[in-house]
Chain A
């Protein structure tokens, strides 16, 4: 083997190719951002009351130039839903991405680890029995209960994963056991529930963006804005963890600390949106996989990629959910999987080597 020598033209080829690939990834991120903006605009323009894109843009840029009716529909009805779709999609997708990263498992997501199921149980507890896990106003009972249960489930997963000798596979297995446990508890409550409460529980578990309000948006956005800089700071370390614990440690990464920090942030990131909009399972699982297949797992690209893929997926779903039957907005939890699955399948089949 040659000694480490002065760079030649051949040696520089790697450097140039790396730079070209990095530029390509940045272009992909820019295209995804453009697509998200477009999807957001269409989401605002789309609805039972048909307004032109120009009218919607005018309502956004200069609200006084349009009629009060248009202003109210765009700003008070459609805007919270359209923003919530983006914020929730981003939060769930990032939560799923980092769960998959630190647990080294492609199945990890808020949905598959029982966090969504726990939230559903918490919500049902509030709807069916009015039992409150925290002393809060009646209007906040459902989201607060859902949040507490989601947080308990995440912390349970976290503490189990910290126990000595517990492998990441075991953690995922326990998460799946949690799904069954909370689903059974939910079924038990549904069995006891009155007809009216039952329909409320079923609607909640389907997940719906129509529950969006500005305070809920701000809270979810705040959690996201706290989480992202922390993930960004650990970008190299999180990428290294995907090479295995020993390898990451050999690079000087404090694996235990990064796992703890990440899991605690994930618990908020997964629990908050689920408690506000119900079970929207698919985004947290598929959003990161789409980003991984397109951009790879270098967190400098994977992290923004997961944000954008999750946000775009849910924003597009939001449009579809009100397009199927004019005047009817379907619960987004149902539509997410229906829209996402064909796309996901086509990506996996065309890109098998990069799926995990």
Chain B
């Protein structure tokens, strides 16, 4: 059972401390945490700091991980056009640091993940021929193939249609529950965050504004202060909270 906690975490972008003082409650196995905040608030920077790509003060505490490299990261940018097929690009994620030989076990695992994400039909298409949404699905497969215990996904659904958004978030929620993964998702769609997340972490201007249960965190007051919008939180017929935007606040 893995657990993750950020203690006074900051992150440097160049020489500037872009994110600072992020301290979260303990995030536990099976939880899905939505990281929300306006553009350039520091969500991606925080993810890169947790992954270790960026340096900064504070500590990222991981308890109970089965192996050294427990974190999987799906970056926001999926635009690369290497001359590789989808299948090769997923294999690549699996084989880092290993020998050239590819075992049947490796390939079987790729096949399983591609089937689970419904992308077997594009398996042997070149990356350059994919749509934005397909690229995001491939990127998710690349992260999952590394069998992470903590998964950081930077806007994984931004290019997906509504049906696929729900499918992917539902899939990741089930992955978290069944595999005991901690899933952090940076996301702009607050309604999806309210529907799928167990916790919501709000970042604005490089600082954490709140972290807790969606209902406690996503409030009209927070939306006005952080997003500069007038909005109400209402329940839909399925008893999910929904943000209804009335207009911008100036």
Closest to B85 in A: A296
Chain A residue contacts of B79, Cβ below 8 A: 244
Interface residues of B in 99-155 (CB under 8 A from A): 100, 102, 104, 107-108, 110-118, 120, 123-124, 126-129, 139, 142-143, 146
Asked if A239 meets B83 with Cβ closer than 8 Å, knowing A5-B112, A14-B123, A250-B73, the reply is: no
Determine which of A2, A165, A251, A296 lies in contact with B84 in the assembled complex, contact meaning CB atoms within 8 Å. Answer: A296
Q: Does A247 contact B (CB under 8 A)?
A: yes
Whether the Cβ atoms of B48 and A10 lie closer than 8 Å is: no
Closest to A255 in B: B53
Whether the Cβ atoms of B81 and A236 lie closer than 8 Å is: no
Q: Kindly state the separation between the CA atoms of A90 and B178 in the bound complex, as whole angstroms.
A: 51
Q: Kindly state the separation between the CA atoms of A14 and B121 in the bound complex, as whole angstroms.
A: 10
Whether the Cβ atoms of A249 and B142 lie closer than 8 Å is: no
Q: Does A172 contact B (CB under 8 A)?
A: no
Chain A residue contacts of B114, Cβ below 8 A: 14
Chain B residue contacts of A354, Cβ below 8 A: 83, 126, 128
Q: SS class of chain A's interface: helix, strand, loop or mixed?
A: helix
Nearest CB of B to A348, in Å: 13
Whether the Cβ atoms of B53 and A249 lie closer than 8 Å is: yes
Whether the Cβ atoms of A17 and B124 lie closer than 8 Å is: yes
Whether the Cβ atoms of B108 and A1 lie closer than 8 Å is: no
Interface residues of A in 1-32 (CB under 8 A from B): 1-5, 7, 10-15, 17-19, 21-22
Q: Does A164 contact B (CB under 8 A)?
A: yes
**Which of B78, B112, B167 has the most C-beta atoms of chain A within 10 angstroms of its own C-beta?**
B112
Q: Kindly state the separation between the CA atoms of A249 and B74 in the bound complex, as whole angstroms.
A: 10
Chain A residue contacts of B25, Cβ below 8 A: none
Whether the Cβ atoms of A14 and B120 lie closer than 8 Å is: yes
Whether the Cβ atoms of B93 and A1 lie closer than 8 Å is: no
Size category, B interface: 35 or more
Q: Does A195 contact B (CB under 8 A)?
A: no
Chain B residue contacts of A244, Cβ below 8 A: 75, 77, 79-80
Q: Does B98 contact A (CB under 8 A)?
A: yes
Q: Kindly state the separation between the CA atoms of A17 and B89 in the bound complex, as whole angstroms.
A: 15
Q: Does A298 contact B (CB under 8 A)?
A: yes
Nearest CB of B to A180, in Å: 29
Determine which of A4, A19, A293, A300 lies in contact with B112 in the assembled complex, contact meaning CB atoms within 8 Å. Answer: A4
Nearest CB of A to B3, in Å: 21
Q: Does A77 contact B (CB under 8 A)?
A: no
Asked if A353 meets B128 with Cβ closer than 8 Å, knowing A7-B112, A11-B111, A14-B110, the reply is: yes
Q: Does B88 contact A (CB under 8 A)?
A: yes
Whether the Cβ atoms of B111 and A4 lie closer than 8 Å is: no
Q: Does A187 contact B (CB under 8 A)?
A: no
Chain A residue contacts of B91, Cβ below 8 A: 18
Size category, A interface: 35 or more
Q: Does A189 contact B (CB under 8 A)?
A: no
**Which of A4, A19, A292 has the most C-beta atoms of chain B within 10 angstroms of its own C-beta?**
A4
B41-83, CB under 8 A of A: which get 1 and which 0? 0000000100101000000000000000100111111111111
Whether the Cβ atoms of A242 and B80 lie closer than 8 Å is: yes
Determine which of B51, B82, B116, B118 lies in contact with A249 in the assembled complex, contact meaning CB atoms within 8 Å. Answer: B51
Whether the Cβ atoms of B111 and A14 lie closer than 8 Å is: yes
Q: Give the A-B contact count at a CB cut-off of 8 A.
A: 144
Whether the Cβ atoms of B84 and A356 lie closer than 8 Å is: no
Chain B residue contacts of A14, Cβ below 8 A: 87, 107, 110-111, 114, 120, 123-124
B156-192, CB under 8 A of A: which get 1 and which 0? 0000000000011011001000100000000000000
Chain B residue contacts of A250, Cβ below 8 A: 51, 53, 72-75, 142-143
Chain B residue contacts of A356, Cβ below 8 A: 81, 83
Asked if A247 meets B104 with Cβ closer than 8 Å, knowing A5-B116, A15-B111, the reply is: no
Asked if A252 meets B96 with Cβ closer than 8 Å, knowing A14-B110, A21-B124, A356-B83, the reply is: yes
Q: Kindly state the separation between the CA atoms of A355 and B127 in the bound complex, as whole angstroms.
A: 12
Whether the Cβ atoms of B75 and A236 lie closer than 8 Å is: no
Chain A residue contacts of B174, Cβ below 8 A: 3
Determine which of B96, B113, B146 lies in contact with A237 in the assembled complex, contact meaning CB atoms within 8 Å. Answer: B96
Closest to B137 in A: A1
Q: Does A324 contact B (CB under 8 A)?
A: no
Interface residues of B in 13-27 (CB under 8 A from A): 14
Q: Does B97 contact A (CB under 8 A)?
A: yes
Q: Kindly state the separation between the CA atoms of A15 and B124 in the bound complex, as whole angstroms.
A: 11
Whether the Cβ atoms of A251 and B87 lie closer than 8 Å is: no
Closest to A300 in B: B100
Q: Does B215 contact A (CB under 8 A)?
A: no
Chain B residue contacts of A293, Cβ below 8 A: 83
Chain B residue contacts of A17, Cβ below 8 A: 87, 123-124
Q: Does A81 contact B (CB under 8 A)?
A: no
Whether the Cβ atoms of B83 and A246 lie closer than 8 Å is: no
Chain A residue contacts of B112, Cβ below 8 A: 4-5, 7, 11
**Which of A21, A252, A292, A356 has the most C-beta atoms of chain B within 10 angstroms of its own C-beta?**
A252
Nearest CB of A to B234, in Å: 29
Q: Does B224 contact A (CB under 8 A)?
A: no
Determine which of B92, B146, B168, B171 lies in contact with A239 in the assembled complex, contact meaning CB atoms within 8 Å. Answer: B92
Asked if A251 meets B93 with Cβ closer than 8 Å, knowing A3-B174, A21-B124, A244-B75, the reply is: yes
Can you pick out 11 interface pairs between chain A and chain B where the beta carbons lie within 8 Å of each other? Answer: A1-B116, A4-B113, A13-B111, A14-B110, A17-B123, A22-B102, A237-B96, A246-B76, A249-B53, A353-B129, A354-B126
Closest A-B pairs by Cβ, 5 of them: A242-B82, A246-B75, A250-B73, A15-B107, A1-B171
Known contacts A243-B92, A246-B53, then 7 further A-B pairs from the complex at CB < 8 Å, ordered by chain A residue:
A2-B116, A3-B174, A13-B120, A239-B92, A247-B75, A251-B93, A296-B85
